[in-house]
Chains A and B, each alone.
Chain A
Amino acid sequence: MDRRHFIGQSAAALGLITGFSTQAHANLQKAEILVIGGGYGGATAAKYLRLFSNNTARVTLIEPNPTFISCPMSNLVIGGSRTLSELTTSYSNLSKRHGIKMIQDSVASIDADKKTVKLASGKTLRYDKVVVSPGVTLMTNTIEGLAEANKAGVTLQAWKAGAETVALHQQLASMRDGGTYILSVPEAPYRCPPGPYERACQVASYFKQNKPKSKVIVLDANQDVTSKGALFKKVWAEQYPGMIEYLPKHNVIAVDGKTKTVKLEVQDDFKGDVLNILPAMSAGEIAVKTGLANSNGRWVNVNFLNFESTAQKDIHVLGDSIQIAPAMPKSGHMANSHAKVAAAAIVAELSGWEVNPAPVLTNTCYSFVNSKEVVHVASVHQYNAAEKTFKTVPGSGGLSPVPSVLEGIYAWGWARNIWADSLA
């Protein structure tokens, strides 16, 4: 080997080495990253993919709704103390400030082999990475007669904030004083564990002021209140005595919209004036349809280091659709937390770096027990490498000791900040 030849070779080797990092960097810039769903998970993922890549990643967010309407706080609209417009945020900052391409459309299908997404409008988009954050599907067919009763406008869910939220308040407003509101709770896991119990408080709060002879009946398929149980029961007894009847182990199996009758698996029928029937839930429709829901056909198993689906490579699933880790709630705050871990992992992967081996998630959840007072639950979830899951840290997290107005102020502070963190 002569000298010139050798130098040439080592230069080539050097080029290979330094070329590796520029190549990986180029992968990040060239990659097409699609985000499906602009809720707490998807919007946050889109924004943080841009932030964590120092605005170099190409990110497209696909969301059918023209604006973001928050599910957290929406029970206050049902209780009549707030309006939907107070919970509505524009998507415009994601494009204006963060350079995210927004497509207002829904996704018809994902082809994981060809790595394409087909939009409802017919257009096909290619991806290198796709983030799927489609929330939940309400499994209406698990309760006999519910689909018909929904269609007739008799029963409502209002478990995705929007027009139904307002419609449910209107049903309560037009109900006679002395009427009965029935809320049924499906077996866990479902979106927003304390949500039904907060809703019972909000409806009772509305009745107390406007229709004091009316009643709230909670038919819960679970063994007991699934979140903040002691706090809610104390509030029901002290603030709404005789108004809220809580019935655990009451599993709704059928509803008759014509006679407004709810049928239970074990107990006798109930009749009500306003029927708010929540069926069992599963991962969002597109996740189920794509074959991602490989946990019981309902939820999506993910690798908790990067939130990649265990069923398909380069499809990352966030938020309510995933099969949860122990003590991990399906909440907006948690979806926002998932999104940041996934966004950082995707940026790392496309840059040729190891993904963070020790990610951390938090959750906080505020429930309004009337229009002003709030109770919270909070937790910290550290990744456990040995068990490949997130676990809450012993001695951390917890509940409010009592409802307070101060936490009501913090709850609004939380809402305004998480909306800004996800969307502004």
Chain B
Amino acid sequence: MRAKYLKASILASAILGLAQWSSAALAQNAAASDLYKRGLAATCANCHGTDGKGVVDGGMPLINNLTSGQLLEKLKGYKSGALEGTIMPQLAKGYTDEQLETIANQLGKR
């Protein structure tokens, strides 16, 4: 009886431990992945402001009030050539579609 009980206890503890461990690992992965996304979106900040909040009346077209959907539409337009511009058509072609989606999600108006 005692041995049986112990086995169950080992199993329960192992499951509990694994769950705790994986949730900690998941939280870490989520935090790390969030950091990567912020890093990618920060490649826009040089021209369009930290977190996409550009200097108002600074001379650079602002993205401050665009939603994620509007941003993605513009980025894809620049990449495909549907939208004309000076620098943006050249820069948009340097990112994968997935990266453009991440950027749009990060910088879109909340």
Contact = CB atoms under 8 A, between A and B. Distances in A.
Nearest to A1: B6
Contacts of B31: 351, 353
B17 A418 contact: no
Contact of B13 (A7, A411, A417): A7
Q: Is the interface of B mostly helix, strand, loop or mixed?
A: helix
Contacts of B45: 340, 417, 421
Chain A's interface size range is 35 or more
Contacts of A421: 45-46, 49-50
Contact of A414 (B9, B36, B46, B94): B46
Given A14-B16, A417-B58, A397 B36 contact: no
Contact of A396 (B10, B58, B86, B93): B93
B55 interface: yes
B70 interface: no
Nearest to A339: B42
Interface string A376-395: 10111110000000001101
Contacts of A159: none
Interface string A338-371: 0011001001100111101011111010000000
B25 to A, nearest CB: 8
Nearest to A6: B9
Interface string A86-130: 000000000000000000000000000000000000000000000
Nearest to A20: B24
A356 B35 contact: yes
Interface in A40-56: 47-48, 51-52
A413 interface: yes
A52 B41 CA distance: 12
A400 interface: yes
B55 A420 contact: yes
Contacts of A348: 32, 35
B20 interface: yes
